[in-house]
Amino acid sequence: MLVVEDDEPIALALSNGLRREGFDVLCVGSAAAALNALPTDFVLLDLGLPDRDGIELFRNLRAVTPAPIIMVTARGSEEDRIAGLDLGADDYVVKPFGVREVVARINAVMRRLASRDSESPVQTIENVEIDRRVRTVRVSNEFIQCTPKEYGILEFLARDPGAVITRQEILDGVWGPHWYGTTKMIDVHVASLRRKLGEPNFIETLRGIGFRIICDP
């Protein structure tokens, strides 16, 4: 596990706590050191680094490693959390935090990924193909560009086509169980997905309940 944190007391406490929980930890204090420390199987990323903006580093990491990334930051506003998760972070932890909370979130992310990876890597529903290996979507064999959250919603609904998935289930499955923001953002992503898929009836909204993928039995 790679911990990217330039605040030495926080880095020391977090690293020691994670090691007590059985994690193999490498701690670095800069963006350059983080990129040089790859490959890794998990990243805890502080966004306030001395040599590069943490969001920029997040994008750099996402481009070169499939490892899950949890953002760890003092930026605690709802807008900051939404922005971080919409970029594709697997979770978002606001300082100050306890090591037990971080461990719980790491374990939750790992469980979600294990569940996702146990499924068939390529799924086709009508003319929509979802490739979980590379997180891509094709419609009638043409790639469409989805944001990380658009892909996450589509992939989550596709796990059980035809079943009604509640808004809270989508928040827990795509944003993570520790996300406490509004569910209204789901509608924005679903509306964008419908436009990109070119199939306005592919995802049905059940007002006050949730969503489902409409498909022939």
If asked whether residues 191 and 148 sit together in one domain, one would say: yes
List the single range of 45-49, 57-61, 83-87, 189-193 with lowest mean pLDDT: 83-87
If asked whether residues 39 and 139 sit together in one domain, one would say: no
How remote is the C-alpha of 72 from its chain's centroid?
14
The yes-or-no verdict on residue 8 having pLDDT over 80 is: yes
If asked whether residues 21 and 101 sit together in one domain, one would say: yes
What local confidence, expressed as pLDDT, does residue 177 receive? 67
Residues 214 and 41: their CA atoms lie apart, in Å, by 36
If asked whether residues 105 and 53 sit together in one domain, one would say: yes
Q: How many CB atoms lie within 10 A of CB 161?
A: 16
Range of the domain at 128: 119-213
Average confidence score pLDDT of the chain: 87
From 99, 116, 133, give the residue that closes a domain.
Answer: 116
Domain count, the chain: 2
From 116, 133, 162, give the residue that closes a domain.
Answer: 116
If asked whether residues 51 and 152 sit together in one domain, one would say: no
If asked whether residues 39 and 93 sit together in one domain, one would say: yes
Per-residue pLDDT of 61-120, as tens digits, reads 988 888 899 998 887 777 777 777 778 888 888 888 889 889 988 988 887 777 665 556
Residues with Cβ within 8 Å of 10's Cβ and at least 6 positions away in sequence, in order, are: 46, 95
If asked whether residues 170 and 138 sit together in one domain, one would say: yes
Domain with residue 161: its CATH number is 1.10.10.10
If asked whether residues 124 and 110 sit together in one domain, one would say: no
pTM for the complete prediction? Answer: 0.61
Domain with residue 111: its CATH number is 3.40.50.2300
